Amino acid sequence: MTAIAVEGGRGPAEALKAVQIARPTPGPGQILIKVEAAGVNRPDLIQRMGAYPPPPGAPETLGLEVAGEVIEGAGRWKAGDRVCALLGGGGYAQYAVVDARHALPIPAGFTAVEAAALPETVFTVFANVFEHGGLKAGETLMVHGATSGIGATAIPMAKAAGAKVIGTSRGATKTAQALKLGADIAVDVTAQDFAEVAKQAGGCDVILDMVGGDYFSKDLDAIKTGGRIVFIAAQGGGEVPLQIFRLMQKRAVVTGSTLRPRDADEKARLAAAVEATVWPWIAAGKLKPVIDRTYPLAQAGEAHAALERGEVVGKVVLTL
């Protein structure tokens, strides 16, 4: 089958090349999916650069989410079922295997492209904003990187749960786009102090931070007493200035997580929670992925380059 590999094991976007590898064989409890679409995510870029190796047992090829048709079933799934799934790797390919418990039904009316944009971002937002962050109706969520794939998912999920959303972005264009995505307040961090805007709005109960670095000090300013700051990335730097007395005064919780290294049982638990909570929001029309653009599988390098340039609002998806 055709899959995408990184020539030389690591490199720039141009290092992504189509190769021929053996079709995977599902093991006990796994299903085989004929892939129709595969989501592109920032962790894929980090893996391509050699800094995010796949967990033990996962394919070396990239790709953390797919949608398509079940070819060999297991568990609740039979051949012919249409699913989207969260993978440990191997999604940039014609076929993928996955634990049957990590697949969910493609929502009614969704295309494969739309469904492939769901698992990685929805699971990440649900685990971090709603489980670790404990966001509840009536609270305020601040999302850094509001127009990213994560941001474009976090905003409607928080709104569906009855929360208020403040989104931060860089530049007037992306700030306007954040409002279109559903943010109640959008902050252009190149022209405004997001902590001051947040305080004027009453403060934040939860902050979803994928920047780190010098954002952390302002997060502490923006957070309410008893608030939660949740890290899922550190694009602005992995070391933050922790002023412990300010943290104590705010009685704030600082936490964070990664999704890919979680064990199979934990991902199965999370998948069940997502299906119970988020899939009804989708059915009610409260959440639909924002697809910025698609590329054929062979143009995976161009997809990565677009994401790296920061010109994408929402998700990039590969098609087969």
Both tokens of residue 201?
């709005």
Question: What is the C-alpha to C-alpha distance for residues 33 and 26, in angstroms, rounded to an integer?
Answer: 9
Both tokens of residue 19?
């190769």
Distances (CA, A) of 227 to 39, 134, 139, 163, 247: 32, 10, 10, 14, 10
Both tokens of residue 106?
């493609």
The pLDDT tens digits of the residues spanning 112-165 come to 999 999 999 999 999 999 999 999 999 999 999 999 999 999 999 999 999 999
Both tokens of residue 183?
């943010």
* Residues 6+ away with beta carbon under 8 Å from 256: 128, 132, 230, 231, 232
Q: Residue 50 carries which side chain, given as an amino acid letter?
A: G
Per DSSP bridges, beta strands 253-256 and 315-319 are unpaired
**pLDDT reading at 307 higher than 90:** yes
The pLDDT tens digits of the residues spanning 217-246 come to 999 999 999 999 999 998 888 888 888 999
Q: Which helix (H) or strand (E) holds 275?
A: helix 264-283
Residue 236: predicted pLDDT: 84
**pLDDT reading at 300 higher than 90:** yes
**pLDDT reading at 313 higher than 90:** yes
* Residues 6+ away with beta carbon under 8 Å from 50: 9, 10
* Overall average pLDDT of the 11-40 stretch: 97
Give helix then strand counts, H and E, for the chain: 10, 15
Structural domains of the chain in order of their starting residue, each with its CATH number: 2-118+260-319 (3.90.180.10), 122-256 (3.40.50.720)
Per-residue burial over 45-71, b = 16 or more CB atoms within 10 Å of its CB, e = otherwise: bebbbeebebeeebbebbbbbbbbbbb
Both tokens of residue 214?
């010098």
**Of 317, 282, 278, residue with least CA distance to 300:** 317
The pLDDT tens digits of the residues spanning 158-188 come to 999 999 999 999 999 999 999 999 999 999 9
* Residues 6+ away with beta carbon under 8 Å from 32: 24, 25, 26, 70, 71, 72, 95, 96, 97
Question: What is the C-alpha to C-alpha distance for residues 39 and 121, in angstroms, rounded to an integer?
Answer: 10
Residue 8: predicted pLDDT: 92
Residue 202: predicted pLDDT: 98
Instruction: Place 318 in a pLDDT band, splitting at 50, 70 and 90.
Output: very high
Both tokens of residue 222?
């923006």
Residue 311: predicted pLDDT: 87
Asked if 141 and 135 count as a contact pair (C-beta separation under 8 A), the reply is yes
User: DSSP string of 89-141?
Assistant: S--SBSEEEEEGGGEEEPPTT--HHHHHTSHHHHHHHIIIIIIIS---TT-EE
* Overall average pLDDT of the 44-59 stretch: 92
Q: Is 239 exposed, middle or buried (0-12, 13-18, 19+ CB in 10 A)?
A: exposed
Mean pLDDT, the chain, as a whole number?
96
Residue 242: predicted pLDDT: 86
The model's pTM: 0.95
* Overall average pLDDT of the 7-24 stretch: 96
Give the DSSP letter of residue 2.
E
Instruction: Place 296 in a pLDDT band, splitting at 50, 70 and 90.
Output: very high
Report, in angstroms and rounded to the nearest whole number, the Rg of the chain calculated over CA atoms. Answer: 19
3-state DSSP assignment of residue 21:
coil
The label of the residue with tokens 């850094």 reads 144
Q: Residue 22 carries which side chain, given as an amino acid letter?
A: A
